[in-house]
């Protein structure tokens, strides 16, 4: 089934900003895995608690930051600590070492950046498009019989007069 909505505009700035944010999320995830690998030797997503337990077990100190300093992994630990809650795992499509943003999320971002014509105006739009086709075919388009105002001041297109015009 074809989408019957009529696109009015597309907000490129909003779209690019959201895509950039999603790309940064993927990059943070990859850097997070790199940091975990430097600390544990395994390339897998671990929680902060698991990483802290691993660091404490290596040194048998109860202070994680001092233990990380002793193991010379402070920068990796602080990166993990600062970014664990900033990574949105729900939007990521993880397939081994390949990490991307889910296509459904990208489609939603595109949809959110697009402005569509309200459904109540679609019929009027289609009528105006059809009237425009006929008006563009006229040799002399100065007749006022093709457009008329109703009692509310709203213009109506006399499509039948356009189609039957002998000026085409």
pLDDT tens for the chain, residues 1 to 168: 356 788 889 999 999 999 999 999 999 999 999 999 999 999 999 999 999 999 999 988 889 989 999 999 999 999 999 999 999 999 999 998 899 999 999 999 999 999 988 888 888 888 778 877 766 666 655 555 666 667 776 667 777 776 666 554
Spell 2-21 as b/e; 16+ CB within 10 A means b: eeeeeeeeeeeeebeebbee
pLDDT at site 168: 47
pLDDT at 145: 65
Question: What is the full DSSP assignment across 43-102?
Answer: -S---HHHHHHHHHHHH--S-HHHHHHHTT-HHHHHHHHHHGGG--GGGEEEETTEEEE-
Q: What is the reported pTM?
A: 0.72
């Amino acid at each position: 089934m074809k989408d019957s909505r009529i696109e009015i505009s597309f907000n490129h700035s909003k779209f690019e900003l959201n895509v950039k944010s999603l790309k940064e999320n993927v990059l943070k995830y990859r850097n997070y895995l790199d940091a975990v690998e430097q600390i544990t030797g395994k390339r897998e997503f671990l929680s902060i608690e698991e990483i802290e337990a691993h660091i404490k077990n290596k040194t048998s100190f109860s202070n994680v930051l001092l233990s990380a300093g002793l193991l010379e992994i402070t920068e990796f630990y602080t990166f993990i600590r600062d970014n664990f809650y900033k990574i949105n795992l729900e939007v990521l499509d993880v397939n081994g070492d390949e990490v991307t943003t889910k296509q459904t999320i990208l489609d939603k971002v595109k949809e959110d950046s697009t402005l569509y014509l309200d459904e109540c105006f679609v019929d009027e739009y289609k009528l105006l498009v059809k009237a425009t086709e006929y008006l563009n075919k006229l040799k002399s388009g100065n007749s006022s019989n093709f457009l008329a105002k109703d009692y509310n001041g709203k213009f109506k297109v006399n499509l039948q007069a356009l189609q039957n015009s002998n000026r085409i």
